[in-house]
């Protein structure tokens, strides 16, 4: 097993990866900065072995083939670069409403920036980032994104897709509250992290409502651990067969295994197993999509039966049940906007 590294060491590895990437593509890479949870870690913090180190790589124009999002092993950690075109950084207003980029432009560590692009961006964004007007707009942008994904799949007849987009909407609601509280809008542990945030604003019942939307409010620890084990089996099979690209396929990789092997048992031990179940359900869905797309029929049938058994525990094993979850997310997303407005108004770190 690779020796664990600190956040400082992980950032140093990212710098080395960046230097190699720049050398591989001379003149193409304009800027690179860190993204995600590492931006909220102190240098001495351990970098979790189950985490990826996310990097934003700015290029003149994104090539959907060459610049596909994927996790890459690098000197003992997994680096996940995602590429954005330079034009996404040109509008101050657009960036301030970007729930994904704005926090990381403000907080990220710059790894490569010969033209000092980030200097100007931070000078423009930092004074405005915590203003309530922009925080509210970021929450609404996240709501709108989730609604657009729901709309795109609400007529789908593939159970696994309907389930996946419903769970993505639940995650978006958790992330909205994190954005409102000026926290890291994390992906894997959004529902775990938001529990304390909502409790701090006397909204503990709203967290329980998110668990009910997921269908996990009554899950016991044994069921959660069994689902993680099943997900691991499906993931291993999916990694073998994945050939056809699809949105979200970047999680169908061996680098997602530590999440199941380390994070899920740890969360169960800490009493947040039902919250991390959201990640398990999403990962299981994406792994099954890969199998249904590319594996032999017998493999797909066997994997689907395992998946349906787990979905039965949260009443989402039929298309009708899945659509019930999906449609319930629409009014819940609208309700969360109002809750987030309240959080923003009461957040001492937000400014007028």
Q: What is the mean pLDDT of residues 135-159?
A: 97
Are 70 and 170 within one domain?
Answer: no
Are 90 and 181 within one domain?
Answer: no
Are 164 and 310 within one domain?
Answer: yes
Among 129, 162, 192, the domain boundary falls at: 129
Are 172 and 198 within one domain?
Answer: yes
Q: For the segment 241-273, what is each residue's pLDDT rounded down to a tens digit?
A: 999 999 999 999 999 999 999 999 999 999 999
Residue 114: pLDDT over 70: yes
Print the domain residue range for 81. 5-129
Are 58 and 167 within one domain?
Answer: no
Are 204 and 277 within one domain?
Answer: yes
Count: domains in the chain:
2
pLDDT value of position 2: 57
- E strand or H helix at 329, and its extent? helix 319-346
Q: Contact at 8 Å (CB) between 35 and 71?
A: no
Cα 19 to Cα 14, 26, 140, 265, distances in angstroms: 9, 10, 37, 36
Distance CA 133, CA 347 (A): 13
Among 87, 102, 129, the domain boundary falls at: 129
Q: For the segment 203-238, what is each residue's pLDDT rounded down to a tens digit?
A: 999 999 999 999 999 999 999 999 999 999 999 999
Q: Is residue 157 part of a domain?
A: yes
Are 120 and 158 within one domain?
Answer: no
Are 171 and 294 within one domain?
Answer: yes
Q: Contact at 8 Å (CB) between 33 and 88?
A: no
Q: Is the dihedral of CA 295, 299, 301, 302 positive or negative?
A: negative
pLDDT band (50, 70, 90) for residue 25: confident
Are 160 and 256 within one domain?
Answer: yes
Q: Is the dihedral of CA 126, 189, 231, 301 positive or negative?
A: negative
Q: For the segment 312-335, what is each residue's pLDDT rounded down to a tens digit?
A: 999 999 999 999 999 999 999 999
Distance CA 58, CA 234 (A): 34
Helices and strands: H and E segment counts in the chain: 14, 7
Q: Is residue 350 part of a domain?
A: no
3 state SS of 351? strand
Are 246 and 321 within one domain?
Answer: yes
- E strand or H helix at 178, and its extent? helix 159-180
Closest CA to 67 of 97, 13, 25: 25
């Amino acid at each position: 097993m690779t020796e664990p590294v600190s956040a400082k060491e992980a950032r140093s590895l990212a710098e080395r990866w960046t230097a190699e990437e720049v050398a591989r593509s001379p003149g193409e890479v304009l800027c690179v900065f860190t993204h995600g949870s590492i931006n909220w870690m102190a240098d001495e913090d351990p970098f979790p072995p189950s985490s990826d180190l996310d990097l934003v790589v700015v290029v003149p124009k994104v090539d959907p083939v060459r610049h596909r999002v994927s996790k890459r092993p690098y000197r003992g950690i997994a680096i996940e670069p995602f590429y954005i075109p330079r034009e996404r950084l040109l509008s101050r207003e657009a960036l301030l409403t970007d729930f994904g980029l704005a926090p990381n432009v403000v907080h990220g560590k710059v790894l490569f920036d010969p033209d000092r692009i980030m200097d100007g961006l931070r000078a423009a964004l930092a004074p405005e980032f915590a203003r309530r007007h922009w925080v509210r707009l970021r929450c609404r942008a996240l709501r709108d994104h989730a609604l657009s994904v729901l709309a795109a799949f609400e007529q789908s007849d593939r159970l696994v897709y309907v389930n996946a987009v419903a769970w993505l909407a639940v995650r978006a609601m958790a992330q909205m509250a994190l954005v409102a509280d000026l926290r890291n809008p994390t992906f894997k542990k959004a529902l775990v992290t938001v529990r304390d945030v909502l409790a701090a604003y006397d909204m503990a019942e709203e967290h329980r409502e998110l668990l009910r939307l997921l269908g996990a409010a009554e899950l016991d620890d044994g069921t959660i651990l069994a689902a993680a084990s099943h997900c691991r089996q499906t993931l291993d099979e999916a990694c073998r067969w994945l050939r056809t690209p699809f949105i979200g396929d970047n999680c169908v990789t061996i680098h997602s295994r530590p999440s199941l092997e380390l994070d899920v048992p740890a969360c169960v031990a800490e009493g947040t197993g039902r919250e991390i179940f959201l990640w398990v359900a999403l990962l299981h869905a994406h792994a099954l999509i890969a199998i249904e797309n590319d594996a032999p029929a017998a493999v797909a049938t066997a994997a689907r039966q395992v998946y349906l058994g787990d979905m039965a525990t949260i009443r989402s094993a039929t298309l009708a049940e899945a659509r019930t979850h999906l449609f319930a997310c629409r009014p819940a997303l609208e309700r969360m906007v109002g809750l987030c407005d309240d959080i923003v108004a009461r957040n001492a770190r937000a400014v007028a």
